Structure 1
Amino acid sequence: MGLGETKSSPGYGNPPWIFKGSALYQLHLVKAETVRAFIPKELRLVEAFGYTLGGFFLANYDDSPAGVFDELVVIAGIVWNPPTSCAWAARVLVNSEEACHHGRKEVGLPSQVARFSKRITPVPRQTKDKFGGFLNMIGVGTTICHSKDCMDVQVTEVVGPASSDICNIKLLTDVPTPKFNKWMGPSITMSLPSFSGQTEYNPNLLKYSCRLACR
């Protein structure tokens, strides 16, 4: 999509926009000198001992204004703009043209279209029974073999006819079949304040909050 296009995103309508699915939110310490290249010069980086808090957000939405799609958000770090400090996204990759356009024009995100290739393989593991420690000591130990899945997610950015591999994420999942008559734990709601904008598609500095409800 080129600069100046006026393609609409009819599925989104007016905010708030609701997305439902599964996600992984992973935080990391990132060197401040690396992050500064990705944030506007007028915003001050929140740092301590040469590091700021970055990470990534990997989501698979099965219900959203743009339908089913995947998203990877690379969080550069935390920036300070009084009176608040918020996360700043360095990269946003989605496998939906509509979601990409909406992110660029309405939310001021550096969105790009990408391919998300997923491969799931079973990974066997062994779990000792409750007497395993003692029985192994005398040479008659027993083990119970369980399995879990390894999901290999390859994210490839697509720009016209060209493509480039961005990252490969390996996830281990061990989720039992849901039992709808069983309590799944408390519902947790949290708010993630964010800044975005100052891109060629949206030059304004935007402040907003993503509200997450999860179990």
Structure 2
Amino acid sequence: MEMKNRSYTPLGYGEPPWIFKGSALYQLHLVKAETARAFIPKDCRLVEAFGYTLGGFFLASYDDSPAGIFDELVVIAGLVWNPPTSCAWAARVLVGSDEACLHGRKVVGLPSQVGRFSKKITALPWAPKSKSSSFLSRIGWRTSSNYRNHMDIEVSEIKNQRAMSICNINLNATVSQQDSKGWMGPFIKMSLPNFSGRTKYNSNLLKYSCQIECRVRAVQPANVLGPSALDADKENSSEDHSSHGEWIGRAPTGTKRNFSISVLLSKPILALEFNHLKMRVEAPTIVAACSQNTV
């Protein structure tokens, strides 16, 4: 049974639905079920086969949204069974906006944190086999006709006024005069259903859907590198010795970050580039309980 969530406050977002426009990279990974279960409530059933579930990440750059211009990284732990289909469960959400972070926590029930997205571009000799990437162009990347650009996006979590590295995402693209207006794929409409909640900011089990319209095409998966060992030690020390921020889940708070990084470092199987993206997000509904059915 589901019921409308009346607990949300409009904040600067206004009334739903909330519209986000920009571009994104949606990368699907095979995630170990034992890793995903660290984030899934005990009363929810993980969709798994042979010890794995389907997770990954959603890296977006919004140039128009209720919170203005900002970047977002959603780490997807896996899929939760919701007959006759399934819903994604976010392990961690990094957003480059204080307002978006607050909205995600209190209204949508997401494990949102304020993040910093540091971008470094390196021009390398042109590689004929590479293809153009409008997504990279939209987030501020421009190239000359004889070079391909390599971009490193360092994603850090801002906590207690300190930046703790989460990952480094390596992206490549080639843009020449001939293909700078390259094929961006067919126009599609799709729905991405999600479960959320069970956090200290919103204890309800919630369900919401992202209605997406965009141009989509398959691209080479981005390479993801983990944080430095020094940053990891600092983060574990600050979380393991404090109960503040404890999540309602199966793993202690201090290990949540490590499990999130494990999701990002898992094996990619498909990467989709979304261009001319328009995402419509409705207000979440409160769900009585997850289904315990198996698949």
Normalising by structure 2, we get a TM-score of 0.60
In structure 1, the partner of 2:243 is: none
Task: Give distance in 1, aligned partners of 2:33 and 2:110.
Answer: 21
* 3-state DSSP of counterpart to 1:103: helix
- Which region of structure 1 is more displaced relative to structure 2, 63-72 or 205-214? 205-214
Question: What letter matches 2:125 in structure 1?
Answer: P
Query: Which structure has more strand as a fraction of its residues?
Result: 1
* 3-state DSSP of counterpart to 1:189: strand
Deviation at 1:195, TM superposition (A): 0.4
Q: Does residue 1:205 correspond to 2:205, yes or no?
A: yes
Task: Give distance in 1, aligned partners of 2:127 and 2:100.
Answer: 42
Gapped runs of 5+ residues in structure 1?
Answer: 1-7, 129-144
Task: Give distance in 1, aligned partners of 2:164 and 2:128.
Answer: 40
Question: Does the aligned pair in 2 maintain the 1:30–1:77 contact within 8 Å?
Answer: yes
Greater C-alpha radius of gyration: 1
Question: Does the aligned pair in 1 maintain the 2:116–2:157 contact within 8 Å?
Answer: yes
Task: Give distance in 2, aligned partners of 1:83 and 1:69.
Answer: 34
Q: 1:24-39 alignment to 2 at 5 Å?
A: 24-39=25-40
Deviation at 1:84, TM superposition (A): 3.8
Question: What letter matches 2:198 in structure 1?
Answer: Q
In structure 2, the partner of 1:133 is: none
Question: What letter matches 2:86 in structure 1?
Answer: S
Question: Does the aligned pair in 1 maintain the 2:77–2:89 contact within 8 Å?
Answer: yes
Task: Give distance in 1, aligned partners of 2:204 and 2:181.
Answer: 44
Task: Give distance in 2, aligned partners of 1:185 and 1:34.
Answer: 33
In structure 1, the partner of 2:19 is: 18
Question: Does the aligned pair in 1 maintain the 2:127–2:148 contact within 8 Å?
Answer: no
Residues 1:94 and 1:43: Cα distance change in structure 2 (over 3 Å): same
Deviations 1:55-110 (A, max 9, x none): 00000101100000000000000011444410000000011000000000110000
Question: What letter matches 1:209 in structure 2?
Answer: S
Sequence identity (%): 71
* 3-state DSSP of counterpart to 1:44: coil
Residues 1:203 and 1:84: Cα distance change in structure 2 (over 3 Å): farther
Task: Give distance in 2, aligned partners of 1:88 and 1:158.
Answer: 22
Q: Does residue 1:58 correspond to 2:59, yes or no?
A: yes
Q: Which has the higher contact order (CA 8 A, sep 6+)?
A: 2
Question: Does the aligned pair in 2 maintain the 1:43–1:81 contact within 8 Å?
Answer: no
* 3-state DSSP of counterpart to 1:45: coil
Deviation at 1:147, TM superposition (A): 2.2
Deviation at 1:9, TM superposition (A): 5.5
Question: Does the aligned pair in 2 maintain the 1:193–1:209 contact within 8 Å?
Answer: yes
Question: What letter matches 2:170 in structure 1?
Answer: K
Query: Which structure has more helix as a fraction of its residues?
Result: 2
Task: Give distance in 1, aligned partners of 2:10 and 2:69.
Answer: 15
RMSD, matched Cα: 2.0
In structure 2, the partner of 1:135 is: none
Question: Does the aligned pair in 2 maintain the 1:60–1:70 contact within 8 Å?
Answer: yes
Normalising by structure 1, we get a TM-score of 0.82
Deviation at 1:16, TM superposition (A): 1.0
Question: What letter matches 2:160 in structure 1?
Answer: G
- Which region of structure 1 is more displaced relative to structure 2, 185-194 or 67-76? 185-194
In structure 1, the partner of 2:140 is: none
